[in-house]
Amino acid sequence: MITLPQPMKLDEYIEYATANTGYEYLSNENYTSNGIEWNEAISLNHSEQGTVKLNQRTFIVEDKAYVFTYGAIPDNYDSSLGDYKKITESVIVEQ
């Protein structure tokens, strides 16, 4: 959980958070699940140690960003992606 420095809409936060990562973004899309507006950003993070494929799913509630991250080497990315999706799709916000 990240407390935002100021109130932001989801798109504003995602633009701010992804602006200087150096990652190669493959997709960046908003969607709704369980009444929550989410963003899913999929990227490749290249480093000297190799490449990691990241899936980051983010939503904002009361000026706090909640970020779920799944990462794997590209060849193994799909192997546990289903478990990650089940976890994020089970999130419910009680207000």
- pTM of the prediction? 0.93
Question: What type of residue sits at position 45?
Answer: N
Pairwise CA distance, residues 28 & 42, whole Å: 6
Sketch the domain layout of the chain as residue ranges. Answer: 2-89
Q: Region 55-69: what's the mean pLDDT? A: 97
Q: Region 64-92: what's the mean pLDDT? A: 97
Percentage of the chain surpassing pLDDT 70?
A: 100
| Phi and psi angles of residue 85, each rounded to the nearest 5 degrees, phi first | -65, -40
User: C-alpha angle with apex 92: 91 to 93, nearest 5 degrees?
Assistant: 125
**Domain 2-89: which CATH number of 3.40.50.970, 1.20.120.1810, 3.40.1000.10, 3.40.50.11540:** 3.40.1000.10
Pairwise CA distance, residues 59 & 52, whole Å: 22
